[in-house]
Structure 1
């Protein structure tokens, strides 16, 4: 991403943002609510067009948005089958592995509308990862997780990095920044590299 700008009417949300996400890196972007983090991810994913600047990706992407794209009336497995077709996968084996890892395999045949917010988020994350994409864009991916699942998420993120995946985690809180290879803070539409506490280096 190079010099990307995005405005909604007269409000500038991103002001000349540049970011690299190399293979085998676990990168975090932190910022207050409304700072433009979700806009940043939507542009990176291709869901939203920037006003200016450029975005280039040489690999397929998996996108876990903050707002779920799952169907409430379908079961967990039916949602997975839907995305199996969308991704052109032969099986949902990878999704079933992730369900075991995130400890919600027992809900395979449960209708989504009956599940807790945390379990829905587990499925939301599974859908983003089930086609094993080289680039992962995760917007508040552990929202609603209990502590054990939160730790399992970071274990999974580290394993993905070890396999050469590029992982971008966006959050409004600068927790566990020591798990990341690089941390950036998005503030007033400007992205700056930060230290492990989420404080900008050489700036505010």
Structure 2
């Protein structure tokens, strides 16, 4: 497969369960070696895996501080902006074990974005979101595109294909660009 993800582009990949979407993201993120080929990446990378990278006993803010140290960033200003934008700043002092799946996913997304990456890889990023948060997600994705971030959204379906600059279908390890015919859902 060949995929160019340029700055200021919002790209989607859809595929059925087992098609290799998560494996592809792990290869792109550098977590898994490819059998062959080359992945070239420029710019700071952010990755939001399908499975959250959260510790049950930590609070939301403890996660932010842990990732602040890991990223080497001096301020949590961007993280707090994201908490507000995703409307879960009231949960800052709650432990992850008490959060709903959708709120955990909001934290997972915040951790992927708080260091202001130039390339963002998202695996089923809106899983568990209510409708309002789902819409805020797309507003956030559009704002990232406007800021010049390259955003890749991987999912088993794309309800809002019209929001994407390009949509690909992954089937049996083959990546094909699809026609974006409008706002209807693309399912595989």
Q: Aligning the two structures, in what range does the TM-score lie when normalised by the shorter sequence? A: over 0.9
Per-residue deviation, residues 2-36 of structure 1 (Å, max 9, x unmatched): xxxxxxxxxxxxxxx11000000000000001110
Q: Find the aligned partners of 1:127 and 1:199 in 2 and give their Cα distance.
A: 28
Map of 1:27 onto structure 2: 11
- Secondary structure at 2:144 match in 1: helix
| 2-structure distance, mates of 1:36, 1:170 | 10
The one of 39, 43, 56 equivalent to 2:40 is 56
Equivalent residue, structure 1, for 2:144: 160
Q: Distance in 2 between the 1:175 and 1:42 partners?
A: 23
Partner of 1:70: 54
The TM-score normalised by the length of structure 2 is 0.96
Residues 157 and 187 in structure 2, CA contact (< 8 A), matched pair in contact too: no
One of 18, 33, 38 as aligned partner of 2:22: 38
TM-score (norm 1): 0.88
Which of the two has greater strand per residue?
A: 1
Q: 1:83 aligns with which of 54, 57, 67?
A: 67
Q: Distance in 2 between matches of 1:94 and 1:195?
A: 35
RMSD: 1.2
**How many angstroms does 1:70 deviate by?**
1.0
CA displacement 1:143-162 (0-9 Å, x = unmatched)? 00000000000000000000
Bigger Rg, structure 1 or 2: 1
- Partners of 1:190 and 1:78 lie apart in 2 by 41
Name structure 2 gaps, 5 residues minimum: none
Alignment correspondent of 1:111: 95
Q: Which residue of structure 1 lines up, in the alignment, with residue 159 of structure 2? A: 175
Residue 188 (structure 1) aligns with? 172
SS of alignment partner, residue 152 of structure 2: strand
CA drift of 1:199 comes to 8.4
Cα displacement (A) at 1:174:
2.2
Which of residues 147, 154, 179 in structure 1 aligns to 2:131? 147
* Higher relative contact order structure (alpha carbons within 8 Å, sequence separation ≥ 6): 2
Runs of 4+ aligned structure 1 residues displaced above 3 Å come to 197-200
